[in-house]
Structure formats: C-alpha cells, structure tokens
C-alpha cells in the first residue's frame, strides 16, 4: 500500500522550511513593532461558531468546511479561518477587561475544501491579526499599513492594495435594493446560486465567478454611492490616513470579500504573479460580529495573508528566496581530510571541536570533490580542509561555504575558539 499526503495538502520539507521560518520571523517582528501580541487558539471549534460568524450563505460554510462529529455527537469544524476563533476567545476570556484595544496576531494552519490549484490548497497557513475595540479610522489605516510592511519584509515588492467600503446595515439594505432594481427583469439570466443570493445576500452576486453573472453585473453602480453618511465619513478618513502613512491604494468598488461579517472597510493586497482573482491576503472591519456572537458591542478590524501565496509571490520577486538560501546553512564544520592517513588526526580534531560546535566527517576517505559536495548537501556553513602539509604544520584551512572565502588557522587557535572561526573570516595565520 502506498500512502500519499491528502489532496490539497503539502509537506514542507527541510529544503523549504527556511523560507517559511524567515516569513514567520519577519511577520512576528513587524507585529511586535506595532504592539501586537500572539494568541493561539484550537484548530477546531464548534461548527456553529463558523455558521454564525463567517456566514451561512458563504462558499466557505456551504461548500468548504471540514466538519466532524465527536463521540458524544457534538459537531465541530476544522477552522477555515482565524477571526472567528479569536473573537470566540476574546469573548470567552473577557479580554476587554485586560485592555480596551486588544491587538492580537496569530499564525497557523486553516482548512477549506477548495479546488486545489496554484495558490489554493485544502490545508493552508495564515498569518493574521485582529485589532479589537476601536472604530477609529486611523486603526484601519495602520492595520492596512502593517500588512503592507509584512509583505515587503517578506520580499514581495510588486504589490497593489485594493480598498472598498461595504458600509453598515443601512448601506447594505439600500444597496440590496439597488442590486435588485439593477437586475430587475434580467434576474433569470443569473446563475441559480446568484438568483438565491439576490434575495438572501445580494452583495455576494458581485463575487460570483460565473462568466455570465460577471458580464451582467459589469455596469452595477458602485456601493460607494449607497454609503450612509457615517460610513462615507469613515471611508474618507481611512483614505486620508492611508495617504498620511504613505500607503498607495486603488479604490475597488467590486471588492466584497468572501466572508459575511464585514462592515465598512474591506481591503486586499494583490500581486501580478497570482492573478486578479487570488489575493495575497485581505481583511476588513467587522463591527457587529462580537455583539452577534454574544460579546459586548466592540468594533474591530483585521486581516490574514496566505503564507503559501506570499512565498510564491516572494519567490517571484526573488528576494526572500535568495535570503533564505543564504540563511539555510546551519553553523558547523564539515571536516574534509585528504587521504587515509589523516583520518585519525581528523577524528581527534572533530572530538575536540564537538565540545562546542557541530562537526561532520565521512568515515570513508573520499576525494576532495566528493567531500565538498557532501558539505554542500548538508548545508553546513563552513568546511575544514586538512591536507598533509597543513597537518605537518599544525594548521588547517577554514572555508566559508556561503561566501567562498577561506583562511588558514593554527589548529590550536581553532580548537581554542571554534565559535570565533564560525562567526567571522578569522585571521590568516
């Protein structure tokens, strides 16, 4: 029997994990500079939580959740996203009593039964944050700027930020009427899903991927025209603050997002490599969600980005890949010895060095080339090269495998300070 990873999942092998670690470390550093602290929640929750928060009419809830029943017939779902869990934890642990504005970040696997393709998986990984407890538009702009900072720190350079406002309940009701009026007699031409959406959740029609629906909806008046005065003022203030923060954006009146909890600000970062229907990440405000889930009335905003997608984009923009390749070498020596007779002194030297650093050596004497290849395969930072003449003089060559430079050291100097030899080019002795 042959086993394989479930469709839509992937192994992150050691050769790739350095890039993942670099992305996660860069994200944590940016979050911490903005005063966010990490929160970790379970990867499964009561199914009902997602129905309530993400929305019963969304594709995520209708088609994409991994649900299961436990031994006591309770219904759970693997989390399809992080916001619902963070909000559940916020309410359950009464986090508002600790501080009025909670700035929380998280990272980890999420699960959606999606159709696997480039940048779309069934287990994927998000890095996200939630600023819980403020309606101030400056918070929106800072969250958006923070997300851009992470993407740039990850090495993604060709970014475009799409911005929209979905307004409040008043706006939604008014815009629903606009949409129903717009489709009027032509509603029969919409796909059957959209005909139902038009009644239950008209904004979703804008998000439909069916070509005939997209064509029909091309001339829809923008939601901005239906914004309530409060929502309009908020949207304008977010744009002003983004300008103050030096964040470029394009207004995108068709941006509605795939989850139902959004109010007012909605945004996505896009990258040319992934195409326009696949965002690197996105987010928005959800001012009603906490109250709807049984907590106090608490306006909030957040975003998540997809790690797989960011790594694809960064590889394309190549900086992260190059950086990770350099960082992927682990500090340590591959001890190359040239000929049988040097095995014994090499073993003695390795034993001394291993008191403080990693040393690898091949018990079978092989050619210089074969040993150097092995050093490279093991991704060690340095090689030590011991030939007859070095051994006779009590010396050894230290080669920096990332930079390519080399120095010759006294063996006694190397054993006295092996970490020094790993840290720098050293003195030529």
* Burial group, residue 28, by CB count within 10 angstroms (0-12, 13-18, 19+): middle
Residue 27 binding ligand HAM, by CB under 6 A: no
Given the complex with ligand HAM, which of 281 and 426 has the nearer CB atom?
281
Judged by CB under 6 A, which stretch of 24-32, 77-85, 90-98, 371-379 contacts ligand HAM?
77-85
The CA distance from 377 to 382, in Å, is 12
Classified as helix, coil or strand, 67 is strand
Q: Minimum distance from CB of 119 to ligand HAM (Å)?
A: 6
Strands 123-132 and 102-111: antiparallel
Residue 260 binding ligand HAM, by CB under 6 A: no
Given the complex with ligand HAM, which of 270 and 382 has the nearer CB atom?
270
Q: Minimum distance from CB of 280 to ligand HAM (Å)?
A: 6
Lookup: tokens for 198: 């038009």
Given the complex with ligand HAM, which of 183 and 269 has the nearer CB atom?
269
Residue with the CB atom nearest ligand HAM in the bound state: 306
Residue 281 binding ligand HAM, by CB under 6 A: yes
| Dihedrals phi, psi of 277, to nearest 5 degrees | -90, -5
Judged by CB under 6 A, which stretch of 206-214, 216-224, 274-282, 312-320 contacts ligand HAM?
274-282
Q: How many residues bind ligand HAM (CB under 6 A)?
A: 27
| Dihedrals phi, psi of 310, to nearest 5 degrees | -65, -40
Binding residue for ligand HAM, selected from 41, 263, 298, 304, defined by CB under 6 A: 304
**CA quadruple 351, 356, 359, 363: dihedral, nearest 10:** 20
Q: Minimum distance from CB of 55 to ligand HAM (Å)?
A: 11
Judged by CB under 6 A, which stretch of 78-86, 197-205, 340-348, 366-374 contacts ligand HAM?
78-86
Beta bridge partners of 384: 335, 398
Residue 114 binding ligand HAM, by CB under 6 A: yes
Q: Minimum distance from CB of 389 to ligand HAM (Å)?
A: 56
Given the complex with ligand HAM, which of 78 and 361 has the nearer CB atom?
78
- 6-25 footprint of ligand HAM as x/- string (CB under 6 A): --------------------
Residue 132 binding ligand HAM, by CB under 6 A: no
Beta bridge partners of 407: 398
What angle in degrees, to the nearest 10, is found between the helix axes of 169-183 and 192-200?
140
Residue 283 binding ligand HAM, by CB under 6 A: yes
Residue among 304, 302, 292 nearest 88 (CA): 292
CA 115, distance to chain mean position in Å, is 20
Helices (H), 96-217: 137-153, 169-183, 192-200, 211-216
Classified as helix, coil or strand, 134 is coil
Helices (H), 328-399: 343-353, 368-377, 388-393
Binding residue for ligand HAM, selected from 47, 52, 103, 112, defined by CB under 6 A: 112
Name the site residues for ligand HAM (rule: CB under 6 A): 81-83, 112, 114, 119-121, 124, 126, 128, 130, 258-259, 279-284, 302-306, 308-309
């Amino acid at each position: 029997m042959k086993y394989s990873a479930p469709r839509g999942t992937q192994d992150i092998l050691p050769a790739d994990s350095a890039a993942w670690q670099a992305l996660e470390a860069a994200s944590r550093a940016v979050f911490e500079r903005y005063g966010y602290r990490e929160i970790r929640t379970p990867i499964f929750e009561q199914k009902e939580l997602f129905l309530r928060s993400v929305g019963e009419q969304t594709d995520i809830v209708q088609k994409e959740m991994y649900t299961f029943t436990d031994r006591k017939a309770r219904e759970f779902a693997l989390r399809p996203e992080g916001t619902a869990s963070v909000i559940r934890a916020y309410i359950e642990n009464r986090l508002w009593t600790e501080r009025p504005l909670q700035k929380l970040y998280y990272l980890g696997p999420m699960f959606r039964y999606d159709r696997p393709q480039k940048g779309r998986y069934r287990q994927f990984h998000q890095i996200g944050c939630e600023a819980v407890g403020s309606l101030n538009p400056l918070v929106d702009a800072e969250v958006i700027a923070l997300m851009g900072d992470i993407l740039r720190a990850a090495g993604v350079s060709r970014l475009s930020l799409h911005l929209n406002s979905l307004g409040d309940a008043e706006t939604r009701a008014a815009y629903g009427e606009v949409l129903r009026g717009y489709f009027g007699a032509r509603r029969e031409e919409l796909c059957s899903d959209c005909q139902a959406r038009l009644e239950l959740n008209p904004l979703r029609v804008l998000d439909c991927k069916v070509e005939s629906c997209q064509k029909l909806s091309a001339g829809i008046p923008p939601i901005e025209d239906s914004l309530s005065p409060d929502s309009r003022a908020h949207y304008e203030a977010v744009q002003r603050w983004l300008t103050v923060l030096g964040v470029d954006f394009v207004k995108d009146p068709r941006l509605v997002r795939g989850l139902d909890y959004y109010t007012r600000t909605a945004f996505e970062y896009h990258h040319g490599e992934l195409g326009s229907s696949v965002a690197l990440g996105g987010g928005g405000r959800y001012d009603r969600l906490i109250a709807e889930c049984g907590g106090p009335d608490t306006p909030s905003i957040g975003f998540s980005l997809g790690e797989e997608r960011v790594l694809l984009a960064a590889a394309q923009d190549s900086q992260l890949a190059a950086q990770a390749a350099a960082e992927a070498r682990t500090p340590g020596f591959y001890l190359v010895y040239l000929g049988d007779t040097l095995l014994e002194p090499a073993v003695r030297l390795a034993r001394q060095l291993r008191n403080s650093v990693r040393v690898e050596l091949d018990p079978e004497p092989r050619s210089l080339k074969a040993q150097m290849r092995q050093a490279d395969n093991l991704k060690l930072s340095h090689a030590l090269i011991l030939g007859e003449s070095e051994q006779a003089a009590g010396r050894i060559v230290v080669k920096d495998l990332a930079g390519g430079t080399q120095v010759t050291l006294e063996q006694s100097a190397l054993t006295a300070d092996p970490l020094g030899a790993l840290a720098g080019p050293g003195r030529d002795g």
